[in-house]
Amino acid sequence: MTPLLRVTDLSKAQALNAVSFSVQRGEVVCVVGPPGSGKSTLIECLAGLQEPDTGHIEILGTAVGPGRRLPVGLAVILSDEGLPGRMKVAEALVLFSRLHNTRGLPSRLLDLLDIEPLLSRRFEALTEGQRRRAMIALAMVGNPELVLIDEPTTGLREGSGRRIEQAINELRSGYGGVCLTLADPVQAERLADRVVLLRAGRILAEGTPSQLIQTLGSVFVLRMPPYVRVGRPRDVRVLPCATSTYLYGSRQALEEAAEELAPRTGHRAWSIRPPTLKDAYLTLSAVHEHAALER
């Protein structure tokens, strides 16, 4: 089956380096990385807003690039886009429906995005969460096969973020495929069928959330405050980060480490948990950085 999106060896100076991945019909692919990892540049290259230095992009079976129009059936939702402030949401929906020659947004998505209370409001009066929900609604009016979304919920309150997540899940089955960028691995673990872990413009790893977590092996995780001097507990891997220090090992090894650290911290109830996608990202990033230093 031909992918809805195929990216091959995409590079952009100081932003992307030989990035390759695909999006199949019926799946949500999350490109995950912190600010500065190249996510927004990637989406802008896919949307034709930036020209990559090298590489190949194929969308809905059509090669895209300089001087070529993006194929019909693609919807792009950028985090900072909007419409004229005086335009009402209902007016925009009617306009986009006429442009795409459709009957508008299906009632299921109207309900999921909670658009009805916004119909009479002007874009300039919308909150950030309401604006993003409205822009997703407008993108869906054309019944796209592939949807590209840049940072859909960053900075939003829980209510708006949850509604957008529900709409993304709906797009998986009701439309075609979704490629979105996220900074939060926890959110990606909830949403994604496949995850592309991006760091400094390079792909660290790609796979389902469970596959990426399994790269850590049969370990558990103990999270400590960064001010605690952990040292080197036996049979435990220590990964210091800016806001926490993470210890990885068997449950027994972590329990022993916690007992050793208790006199220094005055705390004995540290929580030992299974690893998450965030742990996989942190570990793979550390391995990548260590390998780069050794070159």
pLDDT recorded at residue 260 = 83
Lowest mean pLDDT among 18-27, 129-138, 203-212: 129-138
Q: Region 240-269: what's the mean pLDDT?
A: 81
CB 235 within 8 A of CB 70: no
The answer to whether residue 136 scores a pLDDT higher than 60 is yes
Q: Region 126-139: what's the mean pLDDT?
A: 90
What residues contact 189, with CB distance under 8 A and at least 6 apart? 195, 209, 276, 277, 278
Top pLDDT among 97 and 1 is at 97
pLDDT recorded at residue 171 = 80
- Nearest partner of 181 among 198, 166, 164, judged by Cα: 198
**CA separation for the pair 243, 4 (Å, rounded):** 38
Supply φ then ψ for residue 178, to 5 degrees.
-135, 135
pLDDT recorded at residue 91 = 95
**CA 210 and chain centroid, separation:** 16
Sign of torsion over alpha carbons 233, 239, 242, 244: negative
What is the token pair recorded at 119?
Answer: 């119909």
C-alpha torsion 108→162→166→169, nearest 10 = 160
**CA separation for the pair 24, 194 (Å, rounded):** 10
Lowest mean pLDDT among 76-80, 84-88, 196-200: 76-80
Domains delineated in the chain: 5-212 (3.40.50.300), 214-294 (3.30.70)
Top pLDDT among 242 and 291 is at 242
User: Is the overall model pTM greater than 0.85, yes or no?
Assistant: yes
Supply φ then ψ for residue 266, to 5 degrees.
70, 15
CB 212 within 8 A of CB 195: yes
CB 29 within 8 A of CB 193: yes
- What is the chain's mean pLDDT, rounded? 88
Beta partners for residue 247, in sequence order = 222, 238
CB 89 within 8 A of CB 121: yes
Q: Region 15-31: what's the mean pLDDT?
A: 95
